Amino acid sequence: MDLLSIPSSNPSLPPKIKEARDMFKYAAVFFLVAALIYFLWGFLTIMSGVLWSVLFLDATYSIWSMISGTIRIVFGVVALILKGKLVDDLIDPIDDGRAKEIGETTMVIYIILGFIFGLVIAGVLVLLGYMKLDEAETQANQCPTCRAGLRYVPEYDNWYCDNCGDYKTPVTPPRSPGPPPPEAPPEEPEEKPPESPPPPE
């Protein structure tokens, strides 16, 4: 885990995935900025407490300054670690083509931690990146002609548009189609599930 550097972007990323990666990159940068702010803030707080103690012989203020300054420095350390973990957990999987492996729980955790240790802005940036990833997932299986959802047909390893009645290549082809989503049971007995489409020519 490299705490300071951010890897270069994969040039072959789809546009929406790249936008999500950029949001995560900015969040990582802002974790670095937050760490620097916390370090400086904590150091200045401790130094002001020491100076106050020397000038006015007031140990109480000095002790509280030491405690609050140390807490801020700890926040800085946590922000620095979160920056490195964010690169490992969010940016690296996107660059490796494994964006679908990023779990929703992981994303929510980084949003919350970004609000706490990233001076709110890092959390907002991770949230925007999460929304971009969700948008990319929605667009991944759209028909390029009518924008309706495509249905994956396992026996032909192809995508079929029920609206157009033809096989289509998704707007942003998914890296691995996986099994099709389960079809909802018909509400009325008269309705029949869609018939299997003919084999592609």
> Which range among 56-60, 103-107, 111-115 shows the weakest confidence by mean pLDDT?
56-60
Within a 10 A sphere around the Cβ of 30, how many other Cβ atoms? 22
- Which of the pair, 9 or 110, is modelled with greater confidence? 110
Nearest partner of 20 among 120, 118, 90, 80, judged by Cα: 90
pTM for this prediction: 0.66
- Spatial contact of 108 and 131, defined as CB atoms under 8 Å apart: no
pLDDT at 174 (0 to 100): 47
Return mean pLDDT, the chain.
81
